[in-house]
Structure 1
């Protein structure tokens, strides 16, 4: 039997994400293929896990996929301070109810009753109300905090403390769906996810998109002309292939350069000093440092060659795939 949402659940539902395609929404063959695969798993009831490095578009993919499910979306971002209560909720205090009986005018009878006050958190609300839970960077939370997900994803049962609900288990709503993201390369502040939890998910690795998709996303997120966005994307992709970096240059770097170039009305050209400085500001910090840990002039020269190759006077204006190995 369906029950009306509690006041805390209703408040959360009122504030749930109502996702709609915006002007930055991009559809390409590669994105459609990923969405199709993930949506098929979710429709059957399996949770989906997007795994990839920072800047690979995992969160955007997860939210875009959640939008297609047409259910309220609750976003949860993993944190090292999480415990089970952070996911399901817990007692937040007590509430006292006092009844005064004056049935006999000469006699006053008073009864007091004190009960714990339970506050639902995202997982409980999503499970009971049939929402889509997007759990971003779930492996930043300790494995012990995520143990409650094991029965949710397998047996479709949410186990709650008896003191909070007067019951030990809640049947998960049939429309509940879960989408997870994680970054396996970022070891700072992350925890090893337990095998039992990963085994209940369908993991889709997201390394980087193809060139056409990266160009389309960069154009949509920056408003820059396609030919200029292509030059920036090709430059960043070639830097990525070079492996001459300590922090992987991602699509996010392309978007940042394109946005700044558009906002500052800079020509995407190697003979535009401010554009060159912009590229160095956003890319040089990712390059391998010298032996003493300080910036290596040779790496800046390598980046200057990249800028000249893709944005110089001799660069082709057609949207052609970049040649590999220029940064080497």
Structure 2
């Protein structure tokens, strides 16, 4: 569905959607698979490098399905209470306040936990009864067990390349999800995305996409993080605003990627060769 009221797959009344969908350019069967997961109440795990479009995909699917979206950025200090809720003191009494996960469960929203492995393991375990057939959220502090409303779906993402040797999802967690794998777009598709998101001409967008592809080959030479599509778009937006492409590449791509003098020099040489 495109714009207007989008009909939820669970049979509830239509939910008003934005007039324009978040831009997302599919590359395979990920949209159809996600729709079936939503219809069959299956949790979804998105795997892929940083900045390859995972978050935009979730935003697009929430629009397409006509569901509210609750996004949670995971980090080391994220606790179960941060997700579920806590008692707050107001005047001379205490009141319970739902956390974002609990709100999503009650409202039948899509709940997206970005970079879930950044959260502590004792926090991730809270997701288990929601990610399997039970679809329940126990709230120990109130004694309540909340059944997921129709339309609720749990979606998590992580970057397996970045987390290798650092953190990993436990098998007991992974096996509760249907996994969709993402990667950087192929050259022409990435150029089309850059054009759409920045407004620059096709030739310049193609050059930036090719530059990004060449930079990604430097991961074998010590570059910890390769340039994401997000970084290429940022450079393109600067170019669209009148910044010289070499400067745009320096400040939007090279500087965020590394402080190592040798790597920075190699990337600057690549800029000079790519945009003479």
Both structures adopt the same fold (TM-score exceeding 0.5):
yes
1:176-207 Cα distance to aligned partner (Å, 9 max, x none): 1122111223349x743222121111111212
> Residue 141 in 1 paired to residue 119 in 2?
yes
Hey, what does 2:204 align to over in structure 1? Answer: 228
TM-score between the two structures when normalised by the length of structure 2: 0.81
Residues 84, 144 of structure 1: 8 Å contact kept: yes
Matches within 5 A, 1:293-304: 294=262, 297=265, 299-304=267-272
Larger radius of gyration: 1
Query: Structure 2 vs 1, CA of residues 128 and 235 (structure 1 numbering), >3 Å: closer, same or farther?
Result: same
Q: 2:108 aligns with which of 130, 133, 147?
A: 130
Coordinate RMSD, CA, aligned: 2.8
Choose the corresponding residue for 1:83, options 45, 56, 79: 79
When normalised by structure 1's length, the TM-score is 0.69
> Contact conserved, 1:26 with 1:220, CA < 8 A, in 2?
no
Structure 2, gaps ≥5 residues long? 1-15
Number of residue-to-residue matches in the alignment:
256
**Alignment of 1:158 onto 2:154:** no
* Aligned residue number for residue 193 of structure 1: 169
Structure 2 residue 10 is matched with structure 1 residue 21:
no
Alignment match, 2:8 = none
| SS of structure 1 residue aligned to 2:162 | coil
- 1:127-181 deviation line (CA, Å, top 9, x unaligned): 12211112112221101012111111211111112x42xx342222132112211
Could you say if the C-alpha distance between residues 298 and 261 of structure 1 is closer, same or farther in structure 2, counting changes exceeding 3 Å?
closer
Q: Deviations over 1:4-47 (max 9, x none)?
A: xxxxxxxxxxxxx965535x62445x16x321222222221111
Maintained 8 Å contact 1:215/1:233:
yes
**Residue 54, structure 1, aligned to residue 50, structure 2:** yes
| Distance in structure 2 (CA, Å) of the matches to 1:208 and 1:150 | 30
Partner of residue 39, structure 1: 35
Match of residue 99, structure 2, among 121, 126, 135: 121
Cα pair 2:54 2:157 within 8 Å, conserved? yes
